[in-house]
Structure 1
């Protein structure tokens, strides 16, 4: 599976370097004390729960960053549906290196596989519609790249990566600015002055705010936040293609199908990341 554009060499290196530094400190003393430096061994990644697998590509990066001489044989790919008992890959080489990287690799893969699995389930619920599932910025600090990567692997679309690649005027922005109209007008001026070409999304809480956002004629996406199904359907009819529509607010697998029926273009869900349970995986010597 192709990596999304935000998974850059620079970001990968930074994440792996800092994660290793956090875990090892001045040395993996358990391993250094008990396992000879010359020992060569093998281990295999065992799937212990049915899931959509994610983090294989990252696992390779982690192992090879720490020890370029480790050999990895891949049997399952990112995005593949796997079953309990499957072997995803084997790693061979320095026993010390395998042991020291074991927990970091497992932590990343368990979290990413959980997100990819939950995302895949959510996407399946809207498969027969035009509506697309988006993620949000409700991610773990420093781990965002991996969490959004897992969403991508699970089949959903990533929303903005951070605060820099899209304008999103939420309720607090609009309230501080004085109104949606003032916030949008100020934003249009700012983008022109800075020479930036960024899409503008505006959060709306009721139909009056939807009308106000439409009246600016400068909004690309109108977010329908925590609206009832009836309000959402009316809002979509009111917007009538003048902007893309995005439903947001506490959306889970249990509520998504009813929201699709309102006709929205997108459904953004933080739950596909923060509510996803970790998947049980283990690295076993053999």
Structure 2
């Protein structure tokens, strides 16, 4: 999947720099004690279980920040599927540098590959429907750029990136908005009037009787939150193409296929990022040359 837009390199560098500073603030005392200066090594990244790969940028950046001359050859690319036991990359260069970068590179690649793999399972579960799988803001603080990229590697799509990107009125917003007894439709129309025309407006509802008042305000997307399958079908029929229909809540691998078959356009799931297990990847290292005298 080389067509995937890679995460911003400046952001990746910032994340990896922070991780390296946390893991080896004053160097790697173990490698500096045990490994001779100038020793060269070859390391092979291998999969200990099948999955979808995501991690080129974080692996390459982790190694480059420790030692710019370490070489990485990827045998798979972001978004590629691999079998258990597959060799994913070959790394060669300064042994101390490889050992210092190893844990950070693996931690991030395992996390991201786990998200990509779980996302691919969700995408497969809705095959044959018109729905798309999207993520949420339930990401690891500081890692959102990477985790959202991993969702794309798994064939999913991204929701709004942050609170600054779109209006998304949830139940608490609506409760405060109408606390003074105001009419929901009129309050939403007034709110929309304060926005530039380019801003997407989404509203969450948790009952069928909220759909028409929200539709009357001319919103772009209506989220049907924690609806039963029967009510999702009714909601789709009520909206009837007048807005994008998003389903959220109770979205799991065992439920997502039935949700997609109700006719919704979008299915959002926080599980893609907050519940994805890290994929088991390992780095096997061998010393190639002795120390430089």
TM-score, normalisation: structure 2: 0.91
Contact 2:43 2:284 in 1 (8 A): yes
CA distance in 1, matches of 2:159, 2:234: 24
Shift of 1:189: 3.2
Aligned to 1:214: 215
Distance in 2, Cα, partners of 1:18 & 1:37: 25
Aligned position for 2:289? none
1:112-131 equivalences under 5 Å are 112-131=112-131
- Cα drift, residue 190 of structure 1: 3.0
Whether the 8 Å CA contact 1:173–1:183 is kept in 2: the answer is: no
Name whichever of 56-65 and 91-100 sits farther off.
56-65
1:139-183 deviations in Å (ceiling 9; x for gaps): 110111111111000001111111111111111111111164365
Number of residue equivalences: 281
Matched residue SS, 2:194: helix
CA distance in structure 1 between the aligned counterparts of 2:143 and 2:80, rounded to whole angstroms: 22
Higher gyration radius (CA): 2
Cα pair distance change 1:191/1:232, threshold 3 Å: same
Distance 1:149 1:225 in 2: 25
**Offset at residue 24 of structure 1 (A):** 1.2
Kept after mapping to 1: 8 A contact 2:186/2:217? no
1:3 CA drift (Å):
4.3
SS of 1:191 mapped into structure 2: coil
- Please tell me whether residue 45 in structure 1 is matched to residue 49 in structure 2: no
1:135 maps to which residue? 135
Evaluate the alpha carbon distance shift between residue 39 and residue 224 of structure 1 in structure 2; reply closer, same or farther with a 3 A threshold: same
Aligned to 2:254, what secondary structure does the other structure show?
A: coil
Structure 2 residue runs without a partner (length 5+): 287-293
In structure 1, stretches of 5+ residues that fail to align are: none
Q: 1:118 to 1:183 in 2, by over 3 A?
A: farther
Structure 1 match to 2:206: 205
Equivalent of 1:185 in 176, 186, 189 = 189
Deviations 1:209-246 (A, max 9, x none): 111110112x1110000011111111110000000000
Distance 1:191 1:28 in 2: 52
RMSD between superposed Cα atoms in Å: 1.5
Please list the CA deviations of residues 46-78 of structure 1 after superposition, one character each: whole Å capped at 9, or x if unmatched: 110011111123211221233210111111111
Distance 1:29 1:183, change over 3 A: farther
Give the distance between the partners of 1:32 and 1:161, measured in 2 at CA: 41
Runs of 4+ in structure 1 deviating by more than 6 angstroms, as ranges, are none
Q: Is the 8 A contact 1:57 1:78 kept in 2?
A: no
